[in-house]
Each structure stands twice: as C-alpha cells, then as structure tokens.
C-alpha cells in the first residue's frame, strides 16, 4: 500500500462512452486518499475505491469514475511557489484541481489492443479526423460538464477563473463562519498538537457538510505534519462542493439498521422507532468511544419489551450481553451484592474472557427501584451514586466474595455500553394526572397529548440523583395499545398462541380462536398491568384442557378435529368449541 492514509492527492474523473472502447474523462474533483501501487487503486478518505482510468476494470467494467494523477501531497506543494500565490498545501491542492479542469482526457484501446490516453486542452481546436468517435457523440450530447462540443470547431470552453479567495464580505455573509475562521487561524499558528488535531478531525467529520474546508486542512496537517505559517482568514479558499459529495461511502463493519430493526420487531411489537433509535445509539457509541461515558436509560411500563429488545439486539449484533441484578446491589460494607462481585460473576459467565467482558453491553434492570430521597440509603440512592463511576468508566478489582480474600481480576468498564431500565411509574402516572387535570391543573397540556418527561421530572418526581440523570440518555418506550396486544398474540415470533397452534397441529388438530378470546386476554393483561409478559401464562392457562383432550385422543379415529377458543375459555379452560373427525 502507500506510505500512509491520505498521503496522496488524486483527481477523480467521470467517464463518458464515445466509442466501442473509447471514453472521454472529465475532471470531477480532486481529493485526498491512499494510493495502492500494486493494484493501481486509489482509496479516498471515505474508503471509496477507484481504478485507474486506463485500467481494464475502468475501460471495460461498470465503473462510472476513475482516477489519474496520484501524487504525494508534499510533491503537490513543491510544484508551486509563493510567486504563484501558493502558501499552503491546501492552496496547492486547490491549484492542482484547477489545472485538472483545464483539459479532458480521451482514453481508449486500439484494434491491436494497445491502450492510449490523449489530453485535450479546453479551448483548443481538435481535428475531426483524429477524434471521429466523439464527434458523433456530440450531436446527442451538446454539453458535457461545461465542455461544449461542436463538430466543426472541436472542443471549446470558456475559461474558468478560480482565483477568487474568501473576502470580508464572504465572512459576513456566512461563507466561512467566524468560529471556523478562528480555528483556521489557530491551525496556522501551531496551537494544536498532533493528537489535538486527530480529535478535532473526528469532531469535524460529524459536521462535514458545514466544515469541508477546515476538514481538508486538518487532514493534511495530521497526515503530513506540516504547519501552516502565516495563515490569514482571507487566504482560505472557497469551499469546493465536489470535495464533500462522495457518491458512495464505504463504512467499515457496516450494520444494516433497517434489516436489524425488522428482525427485532418481528418479535417485539409496537416499538419500531425506539428499536431503531437504540440500534443507532449503539452504533454511535461503538464509533465514538468517548460517548460510552454516558449510559442509556430505557423507561416505560412493565412488560413492553425493554429487556427483550436489548437481548435480541445483542444477539443479532453478536455482542456479549450481561445483566446485573440491580435490586441486590448495595454500597460496599453492607448486606447485599457489591458491584465488584457482580463483575466477577460476569467474568466467570464469559468463560474468564476479559476482552469479552470489557467490550460488552451491560444491562441494569429495575433501576427505578433504587431511587430515594437520601444519599445515605445504602441500597438505594447510594447505589446510583456508585454507578456514576461505572458508567463513566472505572477500573474495578472484581472478586468472587468481598468478605473473604480470594482471586481478583481488574475489569475496566470504560469500553462497555451501559443500559439501564425502569418503569418509572411515579413519573408517568404523575404526568398523566397533570394532563387529565386531576388535582394538578391543565398547565402541562400540549394539545391532547401527554408531554414528554424531562430530566427535571425524574429528579423531582422519582427522587433520582441529578448527577445520575445527567449522565444518561433517556428513551421512553410506548405503552401497548389493544391492537399491539393483539399483534403480539397473533404475529410475534415469540407468540405463545402461535406456538400452541403448532403443538396442536402435531396432534392433527386445528386450533382456532374468536375475536372475543383475543380481546379477553388483552383486557386481563391490561387489568393486571403485566404488559405482554403475562400473555404467555394466560394462553397456556386457556389451552391446557383442550390440549389434554387432543393429546389423549390423538390416535382415535374420531378424535378432535378443530378446537375453537372463545371468550369464556379464558376464565374457564374446559369450555371451548370443538368438532370431531
């Protein structure tokens, strides 16, 4: 490969067919990247690979772009002098890009199989006899990226003046913001270390559309170590749109969010948007380690799928997933489990694979049960205060039993993705009461929709420590409607009703149900406030008697043929409609 990532500059050309094996290439943009001399491939900084314009892959393949003129960055700078108005590497690359636009390339293969490249300067006359192929092409394509084709005059183009720099008027109009200008000035004065620049580059990439010029400059500083001297705000070139519009971005370890979401929501119903949000946050944390110092708090009613979602996402992402018994946790020195003991248990569950443990998803369930008014509550608020360090990242001396000396292992939580969950009924019931105007007035109404809970609500209404709530991103899952309950029963991959239908089918019996049966199950689940969690037991209770009869008579010539579950079956399992063979 090349000497290092982004150490080269190359011009990317767009390909237009003008003959059986002839193409005209016009300059699209010039960018930074890496050049692989062995394969003659250019990889831009976004991972997009381009073949050379004269390669067979480019001429005979389906590629619509290729590269040419790959040159080391420092060599580009050496091509120009201050007399040319070139003071920085960025200036040199901009000028290099301008030069590439002053001509187009005719690339082809002769009947004898010899490849050739001809440079055609814009504005010059081209003899028809030499380039018959593109003359025919001209009648159908009178214009090609600013290049005008005329059969009698060849190729011509108006000269493009790219020398204009950013002026004070441009700054005032927002062409380059004052903040960007200030950073560019600091770059020129050598304020930043190489490590600072690397971090700055990653932050800039998050806002790439707005900071294109600065990104190019930081890239060059990081990859070459050059320091820009005497940079003035007015020396900054205007941003070139082509530099920031890659057609295709090659993301390493790419995760198809839509496909993963569909896999999860085939089981968990009614939470599609929240599932997608959770997947996205995990991806962002994996790509930005600093974000792992914040946890994610999943809230919402019991039985809506919080734990199931997390287990399935971890499964399909092939990530280690461990639950910690939050209810049993206490601060050190008191009856209960210490966090060090829980980490040691995870270490053993992971087969003593420390790497697996330290790169896992950790899940604290029922965290809302730890809320209390006093910091002195050793099994409540005190635990939440301790978890702050866990979330932020801390090295623990994990041990099997804190009360007795034994083997210890150091476990660092810095790279863990931490999720916590809780119903937080105190918060949501209070907000609902406010919304309905029961004793609290109607001041919090937002139309007819219950307003979103704020961080302040969790602090005031649930007695959550302010520092703890400030360290987590809160995602509230939706309550289950009657239709969602029915979908869980009839369409979820984890549906107990569908599982029972298959079990009856093995006995040669068709199991059916009425709408009344479904609605009765839904009504009972909502009454018991168990969410989807109670549906499995309810279905098993309602079908045991029918299964008992079907199993006993499975080998009878006149055994059960069809069983229909009705509304009454929910409360009285022995009451169901049936027909015999």
Signed CA dihedral, 193, 199, 203, 209: sign only? positive
Of 231, 44, 207, which Cα lies nearest the Cα of 217? 231
pLDDT in tens, 296-341: 999 999 999 999 999 999 999 999 999 998 888 887 767 678 899 9
* pLDDT at 38 exceeding the cut of 80: yes
Return the DSSP state at 446.
B
* Mean of pLDDT values over 126-151: 42
* pLDDT at 123 exceeding the cut of 50: no
Residue 204 confidence class, pLDDT cut points 50, 70, 90: low
Q: Is residue 235 a contact partner of residue 165, using CB atoms and an 8 Å limit?
A: yes
* pLDDT at 491 exceeding the cut of 70: yes
Burial class (CB in 10 A: 0-12, 13-18, 19+), 115: middle
pLDDT in tens, 158-198: 332 323 333 444 444 444 555 555 555 555 555 556 566 66
Q: Is 563 helix (H, G, I), strand (E, B) or coil?
A: strand
**Which helix (H) or strand (E) segment is 412 a member of?**
strand 408-412
Beta-carbon count within 10 A of 51 CB:
19
Q: Checking phi first, is residue 531 left (phi over 0); if not, alpha (psi -120 to 50) or beta?
A: left
pLDDT in tens, 62-87: 778 889 888 888 788 788 777 777 76
Domains annotated on the chain, with CATH: 8-156 (no CATH), 168-244 (no CATH), 257-422 (3.40.50.300), 482-580 (1.10.8.60)
What integer pLDDT is reported at residue 351 of this predicted model? 93
* pLDDT at 120 exceeding the cut of 80: no
Residue 144 confidence class, pLDDT cut points 50, 70, 90: very low
Q: Is residue 240 a contact partner of residue 97, using CB atoms and an 8 Å limit?
A: yes
What span, in angstroms and rounded, lies between the C-alpha atoms of 469 and 434?
A: 22
Residue 447 confidence class, pLDDT cut points 50, 70, 90: very low
* pLDDT at 404 exceeding the cut of 60: yes
Residue 524 confidence class, pLDDT cut points 50, 70, 90: very high
What span, in angstroms and rounded, lies between the C-alpha atoms of 399 and 487?
A: 45
pLDDT in tens, 547-570: 999 999 998 888 899 999 999 999
What integer pLDDT is reported at residue 119 of this predicted model? 72
* Mean of pLDDT values over 7-16: 86
Burial class (CB in 10 A: 0-12, 13-18, 19+), 337: middle
Q: Is residue 472 a contact partner of residue 296, using CB atoms and an 8 Å limit?
A: yes
545 vs 402, which has greater pLDDT?
A: 545
What integer pLDDT is reported at residue 257 of this predicted model? 92
What integer pLDDT is reported at residue 75 of this predicted model? 83
What integer pLDDT is reported at residue 297 of this predicted model? 96
């Amino acid at each position: 490969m090349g000497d290092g990532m982004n150490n080269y500059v190359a011009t990317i050309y767009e390909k237009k067919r003008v003959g059986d094996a002839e193409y005209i290439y016009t300059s699209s943009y010039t960018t930074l990247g890496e050049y692989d001399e062995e394969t003659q491939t250019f990889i831009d900084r976004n991972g997009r690979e381009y073949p050379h314009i004269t390669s067979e892959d480019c001429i005979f393949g389906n590629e619509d772009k290729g590269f040419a003129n790959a040159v080391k960055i420092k060599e580009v700078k050496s091509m120009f002098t201050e007399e040319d108005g070139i003071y920085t590497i960025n200036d040199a690359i901009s000028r290099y890009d301008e030069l590439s636009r002053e001509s187009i390339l005719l690339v082809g293969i002769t009947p004898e199989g010899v490849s050739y490249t001809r440079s055609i300067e814009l504005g010059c006359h081209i003899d028809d006899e030499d380039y018959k192929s593109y003359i025919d092409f001209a009648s159908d394509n009178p214009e090609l990226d600013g290049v005008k084709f005329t059969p009698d005059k060849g190729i011509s183009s108006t000269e493009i003046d790219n020398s204009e720099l950013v002026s004070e008027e441009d700054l005032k109009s927002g062409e380059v913001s004052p903040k960007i200008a200030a950073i560019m000035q600091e770059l020129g004065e050598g304020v930043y270390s190489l490590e600072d620049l690397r971090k700055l580059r990653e932050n800039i990439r998050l806002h790439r559309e707005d900071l294109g010029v600065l990104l190019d400059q930081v890239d060059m500083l990081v990859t070459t170590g050059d320091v820009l001297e005497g940079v003035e705000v007015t020396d900054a070139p205007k941003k070139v749109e082509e530099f920031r519009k890659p057609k295709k971005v090659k993301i390493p370890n790419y995760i198809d969010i839509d496909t993963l979401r569909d896999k999860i929501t085939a089981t968990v119903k009614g939470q599609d948007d929240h599932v997608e949000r959770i997947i996205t946050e995990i991806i962002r944390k994996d790509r930005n380690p600093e974000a792992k110092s914040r946890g994610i708090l999943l809230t919402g009613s019991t039985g809506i799928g919080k734990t199931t979602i997390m287990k399935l996402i971890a499964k399909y992402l092939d990530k280690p997933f461990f639950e910690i018994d939050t209810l049993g946790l206490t601060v050190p020195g008191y009856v209960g489990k210490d966090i060090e003991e829980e980490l040691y248990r995870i270490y053993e569950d992971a087969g003593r694979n420390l790497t697996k443990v330290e790169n896992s998803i950790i899940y604290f369930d029922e965290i809302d049960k730890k809320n209390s008014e006093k910091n002195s509550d050793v099994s409540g608020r005190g635990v939440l205060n301790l978890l702050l360090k866990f979330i932020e990242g801390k090295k623990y001396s994990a041990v099997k039993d804190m009360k007795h000396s034994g083997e210890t292992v150091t476990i660092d939580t810095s790279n863990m993705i931490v999720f916590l969950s809780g119903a937080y009924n105190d918060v949501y019931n209070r907000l609902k009461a406010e919304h309905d105007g029961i004793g609290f007035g109607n001041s919090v109404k937002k139309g007819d929709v219950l307003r979103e809970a704020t961080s302040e609500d969790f602090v005031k209404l649930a007695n959550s420590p302010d520092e703890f709530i400030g360290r987590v991103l809160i995602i509230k899952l939706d309550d289950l409607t009657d239709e969602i309950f029915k979908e869980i029963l009839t369409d979820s991959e984890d549906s107990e009703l569908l599982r029972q239908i298959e079990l009856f089918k093995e006995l040669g019996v068709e199991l059916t149900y009425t709408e009344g049966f479904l609605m009765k199950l839904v009504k009972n689940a909502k009454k018991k406030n168990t969410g989807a969690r109670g549906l499995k037991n309810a279905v098993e209770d309602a079908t045991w008697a029918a299964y008992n009869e079907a199993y006993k008579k499975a080998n009878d010539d006149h055994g059960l043929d069809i069983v229909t579950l009705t509304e009454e079956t929910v409360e009285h399992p022995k009451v169901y409609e049936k027909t015999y063979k």
